[in-house]
């Protein structure tokens, strides 16, 4: 099955920065030329994540607030004892949300819900340059006379 890969570059503002990458993922599907298949979205690294959410101001605040309750600042993390980099909570949050997401597409369009967007979530404590890998796997569109 054919594969198309696109890399997205992001510059984040640091912890809890959320970036809607839905248009870029859809563009990768468009560029692939595939009609049906899956788009795999993956962030290399252990202090960032990708997920889907209704990306609106309330949830853009609620989501990081929820993660703060799960892995709060001011708690001792063994990672920090080893590395003294104050981002143990970042690693815990990233492992909970996850580094990848798979979204099916049909007739060239992502099959997201009406209010569902694909978001990159920065969980590290400082601004970062990030890369997101979008790998599109699918069937090529039928070209007239070529079935």
User: Could you report the per-residue pLDDT of 10-24, keeping only the tens digit for each?
Assistant: 999 999 999 999 999
What confidence score (pLDDT) does residue 141 get? 75
121 near 98, Cβ under 8 Å?
Answer: no
What would the pLDDT profile of 33-66 be if each residue is shown by its tens digit? Answer: 999 999 999 999 999 999 999 999 999 999 999 9
In the chain, at which residue ranges do the beta strands (DSSP E only) sit? 3-11, 18-20, 34-42, 48-53, 100-106, 109-110, 117-122, 129-140
Six-digit token pair at 126?
A: 């400082």
pLDDT of 1 strictly over 80 = no
State if pTM tops 0.85: yes
123 near 55, Cβ under 8 Å?
Answer: no
What would the pLDDT profile of 90-113 be if each residue is shown by its tens digit? Answer: 999 999 999 999 999 999 999 999
Regarding predicted confidence, which is higher, 147 or 119? Answer: 119
- The sign of the CA dihedral 8, 10, 16, 21 is negative
pLDDT of 147 strictly over 70 = no
Architecture (CATH level 2) of domain 3-139: Sandwich (2.60)
């Amino acid at each position: 099955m054919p594969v198309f890969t696109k890399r997205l570059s992001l510059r984040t503002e640091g912890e809890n920065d959320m970036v809607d990458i839905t248009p870029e993922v859809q563009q990768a599907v468009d560029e692939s030329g595939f009609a049906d298949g899956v788009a795999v979205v993956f962030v290399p690294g252990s202090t960032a994540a990708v997920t889907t959410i209704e990306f609106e101001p309330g949830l853009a605040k609620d989501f990081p607030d929820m993660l703060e309750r799960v892995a709060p600042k001011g708690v001792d993390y063994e990672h920090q004892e080893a590395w003294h980099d104050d981002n143990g909570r970042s690693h815990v949050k990233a492992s909970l949300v996850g580094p990848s997401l798979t979204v099916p597409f049909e007739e060239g369009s992502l099959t997201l819900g009406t209010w569902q967007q694909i978001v990159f979530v920065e969980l590290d404590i400082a601004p970062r340059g990030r890369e997101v890998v979008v790998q599109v796997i699918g069937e090529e569109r039928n070209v007239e006379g070529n079935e």
